[in-house]
Amino acid sequence: MKIARAASMILGGLFLFLTALPAHSQQLDWGSLTADAKAASQRGNYPEAAKLYKQALEIQETTLGPDRPEVATSLNNLAVVYQNESMDAEAEPLYRRSLAIWQKYPGASTQVATSLVNLAALYHDERKDAEAEPLYNRALAIWKKARQLESPEAMTTVTSLANIYRSQGKYGDAEPLYNRALAVWEKTRRMESPEAITTLTSLGDIYHSQSKYGEAEPLYKQALAILENTGHLESPQAIATLGNLGDIYRSQGRYAEAEPLLSKVLALKEKALGPDHLDVAASANDLALLYNCEEKYAEAEPLYLRAVQIREKNLGLHHPDVVRTREIYAAMLRQEGRKADAQKVELRIEKTKPITF
């Protein structure tokens, strides 16, 4: 998943430098080319955007020189296009060159910070977090010096750094950064922004993974309330959050609260993904487990069988997930007192287990 960049700030910063240029320089062909390139990029037509940015760059370098702010902006925006196309090898040198140009201008500290964030985001996409982390920290130091630690760009930096720490299992480092971002969004009344919702769920996921259910639950509930208010209660993010909240309730023995959530997750996944998707099997299995815990065996059985059927169809008879689901189903049958039925399932498990040498 591509993480947040701050390319728009460099676009805005360009106008600060344009005011110092002669009037005829502002009317060169590269102006219309970059406008068309931006429009193409917004439409998702990245090949066209890349072609136009390259043409603009050629004109800018010829008429203005290779180290101008306009060149730095076009280099950055072309790199963003390449990154969106997963052409990371092509994007990296452009980001680096753009950063080098901005560093030559004493009044361009925010553009430098933005360039650092963009390059760090690229490294994170490439799983080079050891290279991304110091760039994010450098950017934060610039935001702090510029007294812009509550700006959207600074918050992008904070949450991106927190995401790195979370992916590394450094929850003690990630947690205060997420809380810091949430405090700023609360203060600036931006709690309904996508970034704030993602941060709520990310922090909730940290607490959930540590079985700190009391801390995770209100975060998930807050995120779901915002998603409902903004009309996104059927989004993948909402579905995942509903599932996590249902899992918390099940783990706490709050079965009556868990059941409608897990049932809703299953229905939403079926609607979004189709009846035979592996994610549907996972949700059927989760709901079956809940019913099993409640000793509602009649409700659990068809869900276990459905999970097995979907997994067999997608993964084959011998896949470990198929075998494991059958084992859980057999254990439930024994718990129910249906020994003969359990033995039939167990016999099938033995026949379908992969052969080892």
Burial of 63 (0-12, 13-18, 19+ CB in 10 A): middle
CA dihedral sign, ordered 260, 262, 267, 269: positive
Rounded to the nearest integer, the mean pLDDT of the chain is 90
What pLDDT does 223 receive? Answer: 97
Mind giving me the DSSP string for 181-226? HHHHHHHTT-TTSHHHHHHHHHHHHHHHHTT-HHHHHHHHHHHHHH
- Which residue has 């997608």 as its token pair? 314
Mean pLDDT of 179-198: 95
Give the whole-angstrom CA distance, residue 250 versus residue 244: 10
Q: Tell me phi and psi for residue 315, to 5 degrees.
A: -115, -20
Give the whole-angstrom CA distance, residue 128 versus residue 171: 19
What pLDDT does 355 receive? Answer: 56
Assess whether pLDDT exceeds 50 at residue 20. no
What pLDDT does 275 receive? Answer: 95
What pLDDT does 267 receive? Answer: 97
**How many H-runs (helices) and E-runs (strands) does the chain carry?**
17, 0
Q: Of 20-34, 76-90, 175-189, 267-281, give the lowest mean pLDDT range.
A: 20-34
- Which residue has 């990371």 as its token pair? 88
Mean pLDDT of 88-100: 96
pLDDT for 153-163, tens place per residue?
A: 999 999 999 99
Model confidence at 336, pLDDT cuts 50, 70, 90, reads: confident
The domains of the chain are located at: 1-148, 284-357
Q: Of 7-11, 178-182, 242-246, give the lowest mean pLDDT range.
A: 7-11
Q: Is-contact 52 37, C-beta < 8 A?
A: yes
Mean pLDDT of 203-228: 97
DSSP secondary structure letter of residue 33: H
Taking 3-state DSSP, the helix, strand and coil percentages for the chain, each rounded to the nearest 5, stand at 80, 0, 20
315's CB contacts (< 8 A; 6+ apart) are 278, 321, 322
Kindly state which CATH superfamily the domain 1-148 is placed in. Tetratricopeptide repeat domain (1.25.40.10)
What pLDDT does 73 receive? Answer: 95
Overall size of the chain counted in residues:
357
Assess whether pLDDT exceeds 70 at residue 6. no
Mean pLDDT of 234-255: 97
What pLDDT does 12 receive? Answer: 36
Assess whether pLDDT exceeds 80 at residue 94. yes
